[in-house]
Structure 1
Amino acid sequence: MPALPTKLDVLHSPDIVERLKRAPSEHKGDAGKAILIGGAPGMAGALLLAGKACLYLGAGWTIIDMLDPASAHADSEQAELMIRLAKEDAVKALNQSQPDVIAIGPGLGHSALAIEWLIASLNYPRAPLIIDADALNLIADSGDLLNALQKRNQQFPGQSILTPHPGEAARLLKSTTAQIQADRSQSLQNLVALTQSIIVLKGQHTLIAGPLHSAVQCEAGNPGMGTGGMGDVLTGSITAIAAQGVRHHLDLWDAGCIAVQLHAMAADSLVQKGVGPIGLTPSETILEMRRLLNKLL
């Protein structure tokens, strides 16, 4: 039986907070170049939410590779997002862009192009990789993709993080959502063993563990977070912190823990102000996350 998780409280660590601070001379390169991939036709909003979270949480560049041609254009309401159409040659596109961090999955879909971008992301060396949503389902359905993920983690330990909700976790483990929820701690360890990745098992009291880290549990959060798009915001937030962490000496484990706690704290803060839990939106949560992060610094 897995050991009981400890409480996640990374945002009260003086060392972590100090490493998040920026020197007066810093420029966008010091905050990292993030690429987020997804947004198939009909699902562009998921990727835009992830991109907005990445931008507002401090990445130096936020680049969106959108699979939907109709949505791959500048957003006048968020002109800072660098939105472009995902190219057919994903390997060449990533090599040309040279990202510091990659996130893939929000609204990705299951097309041949989606699979090509996932393969390219799994094969891109060294850069931290955040895998969510449809990218998780693609891996769950393909032994070759799972093998590629395992091989990546053998070559670059600690450089991949998966963020499944219970349904996605069940698909990865060939189980059911009810079984995942019945023993979340064991399910977490099974996911770590299967993927050799850092795992963020979302849900009430989100759990995090990895091959090199014991389980921690986020005690913050509320039912208002149970709405479409909240997971996309978390993905973008992890991406932003990971991008900054490349030059601020925060690894992917740190980034995941910071983002999970900040995400839940922001939702609780909004509820305390009378915003939710009913009707609490992911977009509101992004802004509150930014406020809380800057308050900490």
Structure 2
Amino acid sequence: MSIPSELRSLELVTRLKRAPSEHKGNAGKVLMVGGAPGMAGALLLSGSAALHLGAGWTILEMLDPTAAHAMPEQAELMVRLASFNAQEQLEATAPDVIAIGPGLGFSALARDWLVAALHYPNVPVVIDADALNLIADTPEYLDLLMQRNQVYPGMSVLTPHPGEAAHLLNTTSDVVQANRLAALSDLIRLTNSIVVLKGQHTLIASPLNAAMQCQQGNSGMAVGGMGDVLTGSIAAIAAQGLRHNLNLWEASCIGVQLHASAADSLVAKQIGPIGLTPTEVILEMRSLLNKLL
């Protein structure tokens, strides 16, 4: 894979500008799956990012029964207990975008939801965290992903950090980090998906798009939950893009650069890098996005 070009995607944000007559249906319905017991926070961060980045609806399928209730501090999120019939629930909900993985865990229910998401037709799917690990551990799930990408090309994005990338490639994170471009190329060849390889100077490429490198970002982003925010952000932008002329590749590029730029903006204001939180990044992303419209 050749030397990546610099990621310059923020000029695409103007396509998200809304007409005065638009309604929530124009902004899309995002369904997010995860939040197993002890990991509800991951899904809540993803959901908060989707909400603040403009999704018309944000629905959380929470695997943790104790966390699957209304959140008074974020009442706009539609939180419900993940159904034991995932396929039926997906069909009834009819989402515009599915995001799966944050805090998903490895239970039978988690597996059922991943299979249902991979079978669900013709909508963008954002795959992160434990969903990536399940695909790495289960050849049948990788086959399902490949089959989906053959029928619906350009409709899945994977967002691994180096450890998850290494798991998918059956290697080590040190090997991934030693040659990130080679790892990116191998991941695309393995999955036939758009791939966001997170880390310092995040890389993004797809079967149809050459590698690009995000020049923004800082060490303050090295905190749990930051990747969950990226997942929700990409999902929200992709959902709006369906009716605002942005495909999943473009939405992913915007999400990556906006996420890193927001972290840099906060550090420039002496908010971090030490102690920078994902929630602060969500709010700064919203501010930056609206300034770019």
Determine the C-alpha separation between the residues in 1 that align with 2:240 and 2:273.
31
Tell me by how many angstroms 1:61 deviates: 0.2
Percent of counterpart pairs with the same letter?
A: 67
Q: Give 2:171's match in structure 1, choosing from 172, 175, 188.
A: 175
Residue 199 of structure 1 aligns to a residue in which SS? strand
Shift of 1:197: 0.2
Q: Give the TM-score, by structure 1 length.
A: 0.98
What secondary structure does 2:32 align onto? Answer: strand
Unpaired stretches in structure 2, ≥5 consecutive residues: none
Alignment of 1:28-177 (within 5 A): 28-177=24-173
Alpha-carbon offset, residue 60 of structure 1:
0.2
1:192-250 Cα deviation digits (max 9, x unpaired): 00000000000000000000100000000000000000000000000000010111110
Distance 1:211 1:129 in 2: 16
TM-superposed CA distance for 1:19, in Å, is 1.2
Q: How many Å apart are 1:18 and its aligned residue?
A: 2.9
Q: 1:165 deviation in Å?
A: 0.1
State the shift of 1:71 in Å: 0.2
After superposition, residues 198-237 of structure 1 pair within 5 angstroms as: 198-237=194-233
1:29 aligned counterpart, secondary structure: helix
Which residue identity lines up with residue 9 of structure 1 in the other structure?
Answer: R
Q: 1:285 aligns with which of 268, 281, 286?
A: 281
Q: Which residue of 1 aligns with 2:13?
A: 17
Name the counterpart of 1:5.
4
**1:72 partner letter:** A
What SS does the aligned partner of 2:74 have? coil
Q: Give the C-alpha shift of residue 135 in structure 1.
A: 0.1
* C-alpha RMSD of matched pairs (Å): 0.4
- In structure 1, what residue type is equivalent to 2:238? A
Q: Write the distance in 2 (CA, Å) between the matches of 1:17 and 1:258.
A: 7
Give, in angstroms, the shift of residue 295 of structure 1. 0.4
Letter in 2 for 1:205: H
- How far apart, in 2, do the equivalents of 1:91 and 1:273 lie? 46
2:97–2:124 contact (8 Å) kept in structure 1: yes
Q: Deviations over 1:66-125 (max 9, x none)?
A: 000000000000000000000000000000000000000000000000000000000000
Q: For 2:156 and 2:174, how far apart are their aligned partners in 1?
A: 26
Distance 1:163 1:189 in 2: 14
| Cα distance in 1 for residues equivalent to 2:13 and 2:195 | 23
What CA distance in whole angstroms lies between the structure 1 residues aligned with 2:13 and 2:107?
Answer: 41
Query: Would you identify which runs of 4 or more consecutive aligned residues in structure 1 move more than 3 Å?
Result: none
Give the structure-2-normalised TM-score.
1.00
* Cα displacement (A) at 1:17: 3.0
